[in-house]
Amino acid sequence: MPLPHAWPPALSLVALLAACTPATPTPIVGQTLVATPTPTLVVTAPVAQPPPVAVPVVPADPSAPWTTLPEGIVPRALLQDVSLAPSGPPLLVRADKCDAPALGGDCNYGPTAILGFNTETITLVFAPESGHPDVWPLVGEIVDLDGRSRERRTITRTGELEGHEYKSARLKGWKWFNARRKAGDRPPRPLLWASGATGSDEAQHAPLVFLRAPLAGWMLYLEVPTTGDEMTLQLVTPDNNTTHRLATLPIQTAGRCRDESGDLGKCTRPLRLDLADIDAVALDPARAHMVVLYTLRAVGGSAHTRWAVHPLPDGVQPTP
């Protein structure tokens, strides 16, 4: 959001004195002299301005890998708009407190999350399809480490909800999160450090993320070419010189598009889902598998969230 414009500075002392000095008569056509009236100085009280809106920026950290990343696999264009990943207590840490009608101020959650890990499973939360300004199902899915789904259910709704509907939907989500906590799920270690975005306005997307320890400096890059019908999910070394291809995925098309009134309906022409955002990344407790939640969308269509579980490639060794 752009900062509010500052008001013009106050008149200088010289300008005020000049304004209060009687004007010299000014000659007008026909040699008639008309005295210019002395202006009346109107003094108004200064208008209180709201404080500037804080714009989050990436601090100038010389140790941040995006500040010195050499040319290589990841294009430098993705380093022009780097944002730090939001931080905060995981959902499972807050689940017991937020599973209550009061719903405190820190009881919000987004539409995508790697909720937790159990002995042999991963619990994911996401909206398979979403987009402003509608209301969408929020699902919980339990998957094995080999990538097979064990259970999937709609746990609540997300989107443009207000008042009682909003609180009721939030509480349903927290109840399910808390049930998973009681079933033994444990929160993942945060792995997202920062994301690199490209595009503008509706076309802005973040297909690149920098990872924290135990993979500090490594990058996960979902490369979607402008032509062709395949995209690749890659794990890139910190020196931007070597890539480990995790998956090759087909580029899909949007099933529904928005018309001029903003309603979703049948697309009049195919829209490639080629705007990719990596939403969440985690390693399983054994640090042998990488779990990824990502979203694909097109301008004028809804967003589609997908998940993937991949064994860490040979040669990728997490630090202790």
What confidence tens digit (pLDDT) does each residue in 219-249 have? 999 999 988 899 999 999 999 999 999 999 9
User: Could you tell me the pLDDT band of residue 62, with boundaries at 50, 70 and 90?
Assistant: low
Structure tokens at 73: 């696999």
Residue 291 has pLDDT above 90, yes or no: yes
Which of 173, 39, 49, 44 minimizes the C-alpha distance to 103?
Answer: 173
Average pLDDT of the residues of the chain: 82
The predicted pLDDT at position 2 comes to: 42
Measured distance CA(66)–CA(210) in Å, rounded: 8
What confidence tens digit (pLDDT) does each residue in 21-31 have? 444 444 434 34
pTM: 0.77
Which of 221, 225, 217, 224 minimizes the C-alpha distance to 209?
Answer: 221
Percent of the chain with pLDDT over 70: 80
Measured distance CA(196)–CA(212) in Å, rounded: 14
The predicted pLDDT at position 13 comes to: 35
Averaged pLDDT, 181-207: 93
In this structure, the number of other CB atoms found within 10 A of the CB of residue 239 comes to 12
Averaged pLDDT, 115-130: 94
DSSP symbol at 166: H
Residue 183 has pLDDT above 90, yes or no: yes
Q: Exposure of 29 by Cβ count < 10 A (0-12 exposed, 13-18 middle, 19+ buried)?
A: exposed
Sign of the torsion angle spanned by Cα atoms 146, 96, 293, 196: negative
> Three-class SS of residue 60?
coil
**Which contacts (CB < 8 Å, 24+ apart) does range 268-272 have?**
271/298, 271/299, 271/300, 271/301, 272/298
Q: Exposure of 138 by Cβ count < 10 A (0-12 exposed, 13-18 middle, 19+ buried)?
A: buried
Residue 93 has pLDDT above 90, yes or no: yes
The predicted pLDDT at position 243 comes to: 96
Helical spans, DSSP H, in 88-133: 91-98
Residue 270 has pLDDT above 90, yes or no: no
